[in-house]
Amino acid sequence: MTTTRELVLNTEPFLLNIGPVHPSTHGVYRMRATLDGEVVIDIEPVFGYLHRGIEKLMEERTYTGCIPLTDRLDYVSSMTNNMGYCMAVEKLAGIKVPERAEYIRVIAAELQRIANHCLAVGAMLNDAGALGTPFFYLWREREKIYDLLEMLCGQRLMHNYMRIGGVSQDMPEEFLPALEKLIIQWRRFIEEFDFFLKQNEILIARAKGVGILSKELAINCGISGPVARASGIKRDLRKDDPYLIYDRFKFDIPTAENGDCYDRYRVRIEEMRQSLRILEQARKQIPGGPAKAELPHLVHPPAGEAYAHIEAPKGELGFYIVSDNSIAPYRCHVRPTSLINLTALREMVRGWKVADLIIIFGSIDITMGEVDR
């Protein structure tokens, strides 16, 4: 196919290093982009700038001692990381979690999902050049969620809340009323926010049809989470492989057809609405009882291996743990959502402009802590 580019002038591609220090690479991601003027011909991802050897570090700590390390994987949604890890250990050691603890976990995970999507949507719009306005509005509301999470565990970012067999402490009395208030506020806020952005001409022009990820490619690359659902893959582990007590809640899996940046934005907004539905039901159903199973101080799971996966905000997060019946994991491997979602980036950005490269990258929603580990 003869393109406009070939007809008009003969140009020469050049190499541009985007990152690791760049305002829009969400941490220290680096792309060696080959550009022809404004057009992206090819990109070559370079990562590892944030490698801390978390998987290796885990081998030298007790099972409980590993939990703070999982916080540092995807540091904007540490609750779900904790949860995935604890579920893997529980599966390995055959521990039964009390029902109340499961509800608290669901509440914490769904709050975390909303908080994560705040960052995802806000950062994507920031990359689109909205100069911080939607970002700040989302962060104002995200603060309220973090207030609630702080109420649970005393931490705002690195929660370290989940424990093997439950959660570190039961929720305080004032938590549930505060949650009810938050749900009401958030319902109103999402409608308002979506009203302003759904019809924004410039956002539609920038995001609609941009960075299309086909369904086949998404499946072949193993992409999960909102990115996959935006490409029309109706897959959500909360429904397909219900863990905890997710089978007790009514909620939908939002999907979209085109797989462009706008769809990824829409899916995330819709997921926040569904999370609020789950929170509302969990708030009403929560039973009494202990928040942590009675366990010895050090967990000695029998020798063997276990894999637990959950639907983290960014997609399928898995923990694979091998035990040799000692107090520390023999080997722990993380299935990092961000890294696997990144694999299709090259196909998505080829042929688009530099500005699109940034917004497509932003729409995937990655955290470098999880990519490099």
DSSP, collapsed to helix, strand or coil, labels residue 316 as strand
Q: How far is the CB of 110 from other proteins (least distance, A)?
A: 24
Taking the least distance from each CB to other proteins, the nearer of 3 and 10 is 3
Among 253, 293, 322, 355, binds other proteins (CB under 8 A): 355
> Which parts of 128-236 fold into alpha helices (H)?
133-153, 175-198, 201-207, 215-220, 226-230
The reply to whether 262 sits near other proteins by the rule CB under 8 A is no
Helix (H) or strand (E) holding 342: helix 337-342
Give the range of 109-117, 124-132, 245-253, 327-335 binding other proteins by CB under 8 A: 124-132
**CA pair distance 233, 219, nearest whole angstrom:** 8
The reply to whether 46 sits near other proteins by the rule CB under 8 A is no
Residue 15 β-bridge partners: 34
Residue 305 amino acid letter: E
Among 16, 151, 158, 176, binds other proteins (CB under 8 A): 16
Burial (Cβ within 10 Å: 0-12, 13-18, ≥19) of residue 1: exposed
Residue found by looking up tokens 């990144």 in the block: 342
Helix (H) or strand (E) holding 305: strand 304-312
The reply to whether 10 sits near other proteins by the rule CB under 8 A is no
Closest CA to 190 of 77, 272, 112, 283: 272
Taking the least distance from each CB to other proteins, the nearer of 15 and 184 is 15
Among 20, 32, 42, 49, binds other proteins (CB under 8 A): 42
The reply to whether 131 sits near other proteins by the rule CB under 8 A is yes
Q: How far is the CB of 47 from other proteins (least distance, A)?
A: 19
Number of residues that bind other proteins (CB under 8 A): 43
The reply to whether 140 sits near other proteins by the rule CB under 8 A is yes
Residue ranges binding other proteins (CB under 8 A): 1, 3-5, 14, 16, 22-24, 36-42, 125-133, 136-137, 140, 200, 202-203, 205-206, 209-210, 350-356, 358
